[in-house]
């Protein structure tokens, strides 16, 4: 009986770890790319990620936007897309456990939203910084 | 005895699972019966109204992908609302999709486009009169990107005071479901129009 219980525990924790490993694999991939971009790279920084997230830029419509324009200043609360009015679920994993668990979604939205706010794609360093910042929220 | 307990537990779990599965199957059959009954009863009244969610191939993988990806930002317009050439133009310009970058991976983009082309307004005979009329009003040399720039659409919405459109609860004519409360089911009948802060709209 005890053995079965231990086995079950192992299976459950195993699946939990494999979920987050998908994201950590992506972070290591970004890290190796960041090292190529900059030989002096010494790890991702949530502080730099925060700056990327809150700084404003003028988009091609002449409107000043930042990530917080739609996601809001408090990432544990819902945001609102300023163009469509669509409600955006909280970005902070602490408030929304499904967030930042699927690498396809992470890649998709990092690409799109960098282009929406910065008018260009983010570098590997920038993407890793933002992701590190968000994962700690 | 100690070995029997987990065995029994497993057996009980297995049995309860299979009972649950049976229930599920039964429910589905029941739904189908209801659906046929409904169709029979309301055949005349509905006159070509398609229940978009259960009709055509909205439940195919491509149909579901369309729902999932596009509804992340906006209302999922029925493919019948635009002709094939419009969907091609829209899906090939996702990097600049109105005011946003809506780029997708190549495979996902192609899967969604396949679904849209199979169900576009000029891909098949459409029984629902509003979809038919909207497509009829598009000239063959036009490739509308917005449904709201199609002449039939403009004609049907021209009498609505601007204040009802620009108000916060609606914002734009592109938000179908804010007033057409059954738009998600592909039903744009006047009887299901309810304008926020106004109410029913009789043309």
pLDDT at A20: 73
pLDDT at B58: 76
Whether residue B94 contacts residue B55, with contact meaning beta carbons closer than 8 Å, is answered with no
Summary mean pLDDT of chain A: 88
Share of chain B above pLDDT 90, in %: 48
- Contact call for A85 and B99, based on CB within 8 A: no
Nearest to B102 among A4, A104, A112 (CB): A112
pLDDT at B8: 63
pTM: 0.74
Task: Give me A125's structure tokens.
Answer: 């360093």
Q: Can you name the residues that pair with A101 across neighbouring β-strands? A: none
Share of chain B above pLDDT 70, in %: 72
Q: Residue A55: which pLDDT band, with cuts at 50, 70 and 90?
A: very high
pLDDT at B85: 96
Distance CA B202, CA B195 (A): 11
CA dihedral B41, B47, B48, B50 (to 10 degrees): -50
Quick: pLDDT tens for B86-123: 999 999 999 999 989 999 999 999 999 999 999 999 99
- Contact call for A86 and B74, based on CB within 8 A: yes
- Contact call for A83 and B6, based on CB within 8 A: no
C-beta neighbour count of B18 within 10 angstroms? 10
| Interface probe with A: pick from B71, B73, B177, B179, most Cβ of A within 10 Å | B73
The sign of the dihedral angle between the CA atoms of B145, B147, B152, B154 is negative
Nearest to B99 among A1, A61, A108 (CB): A61
Which residues of chain B neighbour A86 with C-beta distances below 8 Å? 73-74
Residue B45 has pLDDT above 70, yes or no: no
Question: Residues, chain B, total?
Answer: 203
How does B117-149 read in b/e, with b if 16+ C-beta sit within 10 Å? bbbbbbeeebebebbbebbebbeeeebbeebee
Q: Residue B57: which pLDDT band, with cuts at 50, 70 and 90?
A: confident
Residue B31 has pLDDT above 60, yes or no: no
Phi and psi for B97 in degrees, rounded to 5? -95, 95
Quick: pLDDT tens for A70-89: 999 999 999 998 888 889 99
Summary mean pLDDT of chain B: 79
3-state SS assignment for residue B182: coil
Q: With helix as H, strand as E and coil as C, how does A52-113 read?
A: HHHCCEECCCCCEECHHHHHCCCCCCCEECCCCCCEECCCCCCCCCCCCCCHHHHHHHHHHH
Share of chain A above pLDDT 90, in %: 72
The sign of the dihedral angle between the CA atoms of B24, B26, B29, B30 is negative
pLDDT at B11: 57
Give the residue carrying structure tokens 């739904």: B31
Q: Residue B42: which pLDDT band, with cuts at 50, 70 and 90?
A: very low
- Choose among A87, A57, A58, A51: nearest CA to A70: A87
Residue A9 has pLDDT above 80, yes or no: no
Nearest to B103 among A1, A104, A112 (CB): A112
- Contact call for A83 and B99, based on CB within 8 A: yes
**Alpha-helix runs per DSSP H in B47-139:** 61-70, 84-91, 106-119, 129-136
Residue B158 has pLDDT above 80, yes or no: yes
Identify the residue with better confidence: B7 or B193: B193
pLDDT at A16: 46
Give how far Cα A48 sits from Cα of A9, A127, A129, A134, B126, Å: 38, 10, 6, 11, 54
- Contact call for B5 and A1, based on CB within 8 A: yes
Q: Residue A11: which pLDDT band, with cuts at 50, 70 and 90?
A: low
pLDDT at B202: 75
Q: Residue A6: which pLDDT band, with cuts at 50, 70 and 90?
A: low
Nearest to A116 among B2, B100, B104 (CB): B100
- A35 CB near a chain B CB, below 8 Å? no
ipTM over 0.85: no
pLDDT at A2: 66
CB pairs under 8 A between A and B: 32
- Choose among A110, A116, A126: nearest CA to A38: A126
């Amino acid at each position: 009986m005890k053995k079965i219980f231990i086995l079950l525990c192992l299976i459950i924790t195993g699946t939990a770890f494999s979920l987050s490993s998908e994201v950590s694999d992506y972070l290591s991939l970004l890290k190796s790319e960041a090292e190529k971009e900059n030989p002096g790279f010494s790890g991702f920084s949530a502080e730099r990620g925060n700056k990327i997230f809150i700084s404003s830029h003028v988009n091609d419509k002449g409107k000043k936007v930042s990530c917080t324009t739609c996601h809001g200043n408090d990432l544990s609360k819902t945001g609102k897309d300023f163009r469509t009015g669509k409600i955006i679920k909280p970005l902070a994993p602490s408030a929304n456990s499904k967030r930042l668990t699927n690498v396809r979604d992470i890649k998709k939205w990092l690409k799109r939203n960098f282009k929406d706010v910065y008018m260009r794609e983010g570098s590997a360093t920038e993407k890793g910084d933002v992701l590190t910042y968000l994962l700690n929220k | 005895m100690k070995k029997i307990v987990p065995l029994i537990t497993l057996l009980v779990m297995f049995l309860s699972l299979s009972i649950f599965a049976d229930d599920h199957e039964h429910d589905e059959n029941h739904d189908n019966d209801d659906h046929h009954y409904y169709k029979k009863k309301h055949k005349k009244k509905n006159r070509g109204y398609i229940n978009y969610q259960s009709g055509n191939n909205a439940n195919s993988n491509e149909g579901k992908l369309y729902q999932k990806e596009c509804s992340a930002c906006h209302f999922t317009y029925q493919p019948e609302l635009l002709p094939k050439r419009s969907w091609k133009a829209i899906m090939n310009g996702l990097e600049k999709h109105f005011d946003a970058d809506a780029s997708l991976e190549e495979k996902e983009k192609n899967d969604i486009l396949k679904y849209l082309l199979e169900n576009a307004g000029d891909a098949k005979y459409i029984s629902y009169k509003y979809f038919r009329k909207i497509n009829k009003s598009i000239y063959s040399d036009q490739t509308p990107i917005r449904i709201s720039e199609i002449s039939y659409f403009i004609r049907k919405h021209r009498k609505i005071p601007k204040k009802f459109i620009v108000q916060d609860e609606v914002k734009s004519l592109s938000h179908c479901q804010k007033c057409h409360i059954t738009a998600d089911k592909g039903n744009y009948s006047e009887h299901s129009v309810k304008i926020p802060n106004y109410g029913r709209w009789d043309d």
